[in-house]
């Protein structure tokens, strides 16, 4: 397993923090959603750099793409008479929220760096995690995997039916 080098970690951390600050400080919900995608993308980049490709790809598919689609569908399914929704509030509250988040981050950083150093032992060679997960999903967990896919399909069809329902019938 490859160790994540400090420059890579710091670059990905700065990108993730910038995306998180964009989510907090942006009043436009679309821009906040894109900032969230940037934050999740940087986190998935960290997983890829740590040689965990399945977790990195899952992070992209579930969080970055999934959350973005939920936001887009929410905007499409609601009636927008007055343009895109804005997050209302004073700028001072957003800045205060960002400062509190940064303070919590600094507190955790100081706590973790001042803690006892953990001893890192040599890792035992492990099989490729993607292969093991795939064999389990399509082997002993095939039935629950297929039932969940059918449940998600039914939920998607139900959401489409509810969204397309005429106003006269309601």
Map out the domains of the chain as residue ranges: 1-79, 126-169
Nearest to 59 by CA among 48, 50, 70, 51: 48
Output the average pLDDT for the chain.
78
Q: What's the pLDDT at 32? A: 81
How crowded is residue 53: how many other Cβ atoms within 10 Å of its Cβ?
14
Kindly calculate the radius of gyration of the chain based on its CA atoms and give it in whole angstroms.
21
Lowest model confidence (mean pLDDT) among 68-77, 78-87, 101-110, 140-149: 78-87
Mean pLDDT of 99-120: 75
Convert the pLDDT of each residue in 123-145 to its tens digit: 555 567 778 888 888 889 889 88
The CATH fold assigned to 1-79 is: 1.20.120
pTM of the full structure = 0.57
Strand partners, 28: 86
Which residues contact residue 7 at a Cβ distance below 8 angstroms, ignoring those fewer than 6 apart? none
DSSP 81: S
């Amino acid at each position: 397993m490859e160790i994540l080098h400090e420059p890579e970690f710091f670059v990905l951390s700065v990108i993730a923090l910038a995306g998180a600050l964009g989510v907090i400080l942006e009043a436009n919900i679309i821009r906040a959603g894109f900032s969230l995608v940037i934050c999740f993308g940087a986190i998935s980049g960290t997983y890829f750099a740590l040689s965990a490709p399945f977790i990195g790809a899952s992070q992209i598919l579930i969080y970055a793409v999934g959350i973005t689609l939920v936001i887009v569908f929410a905007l499409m399914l609601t009636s927008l008479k007055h343009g895109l929704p804005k997050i209302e509030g004073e700028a001072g509250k957003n800045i205060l929220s960002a400062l509190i988040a940064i303070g919590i981050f600094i507190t955790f950083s100081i706590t973790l760096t001042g803690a006892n150093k953990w001893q890192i032992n040599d890792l035992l060679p492990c099989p490729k995690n993607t292969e093991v997960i795939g064999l389990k999903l399509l082997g002993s967990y095939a039935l629950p995997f297929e039932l969940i896919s059918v449940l998600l399909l039914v939920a998607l069809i139900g959401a489409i039916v509810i969204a397309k329902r005429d106003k006269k019938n309601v």
